[in-house]
Structure 1
Amino acid sequence: MNTKPSDFGGLCFLDIEEVSGTMLDRLVIVGANGAGKTWLAQHLGTALDASVIHKDALALMSGWRQRPRSEVQAALCRAVQEDRWILDGGPSILGGPVLACATLVIWLDVPDPLRAWRVFSRSVHYFGRVRPEHPTGNRDWPGPRQMRFLWRALTGGASFRRAIVGALADTDIPVLRLTKRAEIRVFLQQLALR
């Protein structure tokens, strides 16, 4: 496997052309707020006929309340026992049970201004409604929660990167890091040609 070295703690990343069919059975899509994880997971779920697991759907109760961490971890452990799946979420999904089963990690590391724009625009688009990947009772509205997400999108890129690199440092799971919208489109086009 030809991998390209990175400046991220010795991690090596695949080129898009190196992603093989066997790597597509159990995918983890990770990134910061607004990176496009859910969008990509939905597209890949359709293209690969695989179930899509949204970490937010496992972690959220009604009214944006978080489930206890132990319940979320138990739900993740159950979800990743299936043969084929796509899981999307932030760095917290990169724990032992998920990485023990995953065949490929796709790291969406797009620029912070793009992520901030996406967080803002999805809040406007879903104003007063529940996003499809969220459980009922979690309506988007312009409030403190969205402002925190927007602020994290603008300023938190480095901390998300450190968390992701730290979680992946001791694994040998292939990692595909996509940093531009054009790379994501090329990756989807490559899949369509298979």
Structure 2
Amino acid sequence: MSGWPPPTGAQPGLPSMDRIAIIGCGGSGKTVLARRLADRLGLTVTNLDALFYDEGWNALPQDKFAALQHELVAAERWLIEGNYASTLPIRLARADTVIFLDLPARTCLWGIAQRRWRYRGGQHADGVYDRITWSFVKYILGYRRTMRPRVTKLLAEHGRHVRYLQFTSRRRANQFLHQLDTAAQPGP
């Protein structure tokens, strides 16, 4: 973590991360990581699922969804979690940090099973959606083959200026949070 510029509006000792996009497959732990990171950096989390779907799982029209994201990224500081590759360039244009949770399908499937156990289905006030369908399971199983190449292409095209962090395990994401905690502690 050394060598990063001093934080803006964050705790002393933490790296400057003011506009963060967290992306990854369903069940990869985006929401959990976003909450934990937001607590450390004093940011508010925006969950894209909560913007995109209403209580009846009806999708917002694409133009309105994009307009909402343009408004969100205009802010000085934000943390937005969610994949939505079709609107990823909007977030990448203003992000200073992108965290890609690139976990194996079995880990993501375990993640949705844990979410089901915790939330018991439906939509929740914290932005978590617990909706498991066969098409969602197929999406998870094929994510690394179909979506990851699309996401990495978008990152290469629109995110050359961002700090890019790719975690391939939950353990590595937890180590990152621990490193932030260590960096935030006052020195001797």
The RMSD of aligned alpha carbons is: 2.2
Change (3 A) 1:167 1:106: same
- The yes-or-no answer on 1:40 pairing with 2:33 is yes
Change (3 A) 1:93 1:37: farther
CA–CA distance in 2 between the matches of 1:180 and 1:17?
Answer: 23
- The yes-or-no answer on 1:167 pairing with 2:160 is no
CA contact (8 A) 2:18 2:77 kept: yes
1:21-170 map, 5 Å: 21=7, 23-92=16-85, 95-134=88-127, 140=130, 145-170=132-157
CA contact (8 A) 1:29 1:88 kept: yes
CA–CA distance in 2 between the matches of 1:82 and 1:175?
Answer: 20
SS of the equivalent of 1:35 reads: coil
- Report the counterpart of residue 189 of structure 1 in structure 2: 178
Q: How many residues align?
A: 173
Change (3 A) 1:93 1:82: farther
SS of the equivalent of 1:53 reads: strand
- In structure 1, runs of 5+ residues without a counterpart are 1-15
TM-score (norm 1): 0.79
CA–CA distance in 1 between the matches of 2:3 and 2:104?
Answer: 24
CA–CA distance in 2 between the matches of 1:19 and 1:31?
Answer: 24
SS of the equivalent of 1:177 reads: strand
Segment of structure 1 superposing worse, 32-41 or 116-125: 116-125
TM-score (norm 2): 0.82
- In structure 2, runs of 5+ residues without a counterpart are 8-14
CA contact (8 A) 1:91 1:167 kept: no
Shift of 1:29: 0.4
Q: Deviations over 1:8-47 (max 9, x none)?
A: xxxxxxxx66766454110010001111101100101111
